[in-house]
Amino acid sequence: MIPPSTMNALILKHDGFAPVREGAAIDTLEPYLAYGALPVPKPGPGQVLIRVRMASVNPSDLYFIKGEYGQPRVKGQPAGFEGVGDVVGGHGLYARWLKGKRVAFVGGAGGSGAWAEYIVAPAATCVVVKPGMRDEDAAGHVVNPVTAWAMFDIVKESGSKSFVFTAAFSQLGKLMAGLARDNGYAMIAVIRKESQAQHLRDLGARHVLVSTDPDFDARFAALCKSETPRILLDAVAGQQSADLFMAMPNHARWIIYGRLATQAPSISEPGQFIFLDKKIEGFWLMKWFRQTSMIGKMRTLRQVQDRFIKGAWKTEVVATVRLGDAMEHLPAALRLGDGKVMIVP
Amino acid sequence: MIPPSTMNALILKHDGFAPVREGAAIDTLEPYLAYGALPVPKPGPGQVLIRVRMASVNPSDLYFIKGEYGQPRVKGQPAGFEGVGDVVGGHGLYARWLKGKRVAFVGGAGGSGAWAEYIVAPAATCVVVKPGMRDEDAAGHVVNPVTAWAMFDIVKESGSKSFVFTAAFSQLGKLMAGLARDNGYAMIAVIRKESQAQHLRDLGARHVLVSTDPDFDARFAALCKSETPRILLDAVAGQQSADLFMAMPNHARWIIYGRLATQAPSISEPGQFIFLDKKIEGFWLMKWFRQTSMIGKMRTLRQVQDRFIKGAWKTEVVATVRLGDAMEHLPAALRLGDGKVMIVP
């Protein structure tokens, strides 16, 4: 099949960063995106052209289109970081080997994006998807599952048999719950609504705390004693995260991988860095990709796919929106909550 | 010489921690210490009895007697973490070898302290002082100089050729200035008073910024560009420290080793942990002592002594107070500022 010369896409309206931070909530896409036609991008050296089957909508996509992500927008390019599709062209040996194969890919920031009919991505970041894996699982197969796997490696390497996870009803939190249970680790999940607790327990979280519970602090303090968690995996980076970190035992590490909160957290007891050997650091999947060996990446990706194929992980999709309907329907679909929204061309 | 059975000391009046934090400033010692007689302590296995020649007064001593240090006070024990003296008794092979020798020692928290005529300390923490070294240099020979050496090792291992140092007119800051210059590193010193700047430049700081200067932020931003410092060594842990850290380039590490500030710093851009790979951690000399090999410690201590003997480092003593006069004279001596206060029995 010869690709057409033009394609439809959700196109970024602005360059760079937003002057103010509002968070990921989106009522309308109009200020940020336009649906329209673009030339089909041409693969450069080491790149492949992929016909998109399905793209996922992650919180990082929403921060990005609003100009609140860690990478600048490029006006005129399609949005969308992640998806699954078929390789239809490309340059280089590996690209030619990939041709005709179904691949999961990560792209978008600064170039061609996934919320489009076609995307150009580096061949090296494409992952061939095993036949047993559904498109729904493959489309969100890299960002969340690989992040979960890499973060769980951090927990294992820390020597701690438990960890604290905030905003735990996210896709990532659900994936972590299963990994924790299956490997004998205690996940202490912090959520906002009691109604989410049972499902998260069913998925594998050993302890689920609701942040608005009046006994929250006392229950968390008791778990810090009984489970001695030393890793806090945190997508919020707000005051409650800081307070959890202060309440955790010595040698605790606060690992920030997202920033749902808009206010600045304050550190009530900086002496804990000195006398309790605590640390704050960050996690970013792009850094993990840069620093992990090719073999390490392949091993992780194979394990991630196998987990989906055998059903230990399953992507919970709440809505699938057509690319041409996204301007109208995506904001409402995102409000359905507690599951993933997909875009299909 | 047979030690007497009783001795004079400055004795802690309280156990544990203070309920509120005030900082290291002290108007009177009455609430915290009493001058009086105690039995001379008896060395246990692996310990030596030392007749104190001179003890130093560090900020950590002042935080400790006020109950604001990271270790609890023990009522009825002498205060004082550090000093120099002559070994007059002890148990074990190494202790017997030390007998009659002049040693620098660190002790105090939870046991026998240095603001006394005699102290019992673990033989393993005693450092034999070379004959060429003055008591004034030996008495403050471990806490500040070894901290300076160990922190400078952190800078060297980071690969950064410059570092930021707050509260830089401290003893520690002065020691760091010389180490930085002699090794070709750019120290960016932050101080509070313009009057301190020239002396610190003379000691070796390449850049000296006064925190109240209206151009402070712009000058610091320019230095972050020209010197790309990646290590912030900080005894303050207040809002200005946090703001310096946010202004520093990617991969910056904020290493907190003290807490002069009483308010909690807030982190304006937690996204920097993720996308700029920044980190916050602590430094504590006691941890360094526990984690460094015996050979590593011996090498560091020999280099520290040699630096004092050849005059590259010199302890600036502003007052020497007799143990029996300390209740009356120590607070005033501490207000003389900008140099070290010693206590002699």
For B102-136, write each residue's pLDDT tens digit: 999 987 666 789 999 999 988 877 889 999 899 99
pLDDT one-digit tens code per residue, A121-164: 888 778 899 998 999 999 988 889 999 999 999 999 999 999 99
A70 has a pLDDT exceeding 90: no
Task: Please say whether the beta carbons of B201 and B144 come within 8 A.
Answer: no
pLDDT at B193 > cutoff 90: yes
Percentage of chain B surpassing pLDDT 70? 99
Tell whether A291 is within 8 A of chain B (Cβ). Answer: no
Task: Compute the average pLDDT of residues B208-233.
Answer: 97
Q: What is the pLDDT of residue A1?
A: 62
Burial degree of A166 (CB within 10 A; 0-12, 13-18, 19+) = buried
Summarised one tens digit per residue, pLDDT across range A265-293 is: 999 999 999 999 999 999 998 889 888 88
pLDDT of residue B221: 98
Q: B239-286: per-residue pLDDT in tens?
A: 999 999 999 999 999 999 998 888 999 999 999 999 999 999 999 988
What pLDDT score was predicted for residue A223? 98
Please list, in sequence order, all residues whose beta carbon lies within 8 angstroms of the beta carbon of residue A276, skipping any fewer than 6 positions away: A249, A250, A251, A252, B70, B282
Highest mean pLDDT among A219-233, B114-128, B130-144, B298-312: A219-233
pLDDT above 70: residue A294: yes
pLDDT for B1 equals 63
> Contact at 8 Å (CB) between A245 and A270?
no
Contact between B272 and A282 using a beta-carbon 8 Å cutoff: yes
Domain B6-141+315-344: give its CATH code: 3.90.180.10
Give the distance from residue B279's alpha carbon to the nearest chain A alpha carbon, in angstroms: 5
pTM above 0.95, yes or no: no
Report chain B's terminal Cα–Cα distance, integer Å.
17
Predicted confidence band of residue A108 (pLDDT cuts 50, 70, 90): low
Mean pLDDT of B47-63: 93
Residue spans per domain, chain A = 6-141+315-344, 147-285
Contact A273 B282 (CB under 8 A): yes
- Closest to B274 (Cβ–Cβ): which among A256, A267, A274? A256
Q: What is the mean pLDDT of chain B?
A: 93
* Contact status of B283 with chain A (Cβ, < 8 Å): yes
Mutate to test the interface with B, among A66, A266, A274 (most CBs of B within 10 A): A274
Report phi then psi at A148, rounded to 5.
-60, -45
Assigned architecture for domain A147-285: 3-Layer(aba) Sandwich (3.40)
Report A:234-253 residues touching B (Cβ under 8 A).
237
pLDDT computed for residue A20 by the predictor: 82
pLDDT digits (tens, 9 = 90+) for B6-24: 999 999 999 999 988 787 7
Please name the residue ranges forming H helices in chain B.
59-65, 93-98, 135-139, 143-158, 171-182, 197-203, 216-227, 239-247, 271-275, 285-291, 294-309, 326-335
**Residue B70: closest C-alpha in chain A:** A275
CB of A268 within 8 Å of any CB in chain B? yes
CA distance B218 to B232: 18
Contacts of A280 in chain B (CB under 8 A): 273, 279-281
Average predicted confidence (pLDDT) for chain A: 93
| DSSP conformational letter for A312 | S
* For residues A16-22, average pLDDT: 86
